[in-house]
Structure 1
């Protein structure tokens, strides 16, 4: 019984590392919506940031900030949505 509870706790901890609470998920228009881009940023230093701006389906302006991780994947770290009116 104790082993089963311990295994469940370890499984939850690993799952929370994959998607930490409050982590932003890509939305349609995001660079990483549908997966990572095919091309890698090979000249940018690890930890550098990339900004991206687009309009969502509601016509709102969306500004996103990504950070380049050690695997050269873009991680969505910030999003701001504003009305265009």
Structure 2
């Protein structure tokens, strides 16, 4: 039973890393990390970003990493109506 749980856990970790979100035009991290870093925000802070791209409205959620970079963790899309 413990082996099955370990295998399922590893499979979940592999699926999560394989399906990582990629930045799209308008994303904060599109083309690389921003030049300015969030110096005063605590590590683990959540940053939201709303923008339009290709006629659609997007909201992205980023997580501030220990090296002060932003990791894209979620994106939702709604039509521009």
Whether TM-score is above 0.5 comes out as: yes
The Cα RMSD (Å) is: 1.4
Instruction: Provide structure 1 residue ranges, at least 5 long, that are not aligned to the other structure.
Output: 1-15
Segments ≥4 residues shifted beyond 2 Å: none
Corresponding residue number in structure 2 for 1:68: 64
Shift, 1:29, TM fit: 0.3
Structure with the higher strand share, 1 or 2 = 2
Selected match of 2:75 from 69, 73, 79? 79
Rg bigger for which structure?
Answer: 1
Instruction: Provide structure 2 residue ranges, at least 5 long, that are not aligned to the other structure.
Output: 1-13
Corresponding residue number in structure 1 for 2:41: 44
Shift, 1:64, TM fit: 0.2
Shift, 1:20, TM fit: 1.5
SS in 1 for 2:39: coil
Number of aligned residue pairs: 67
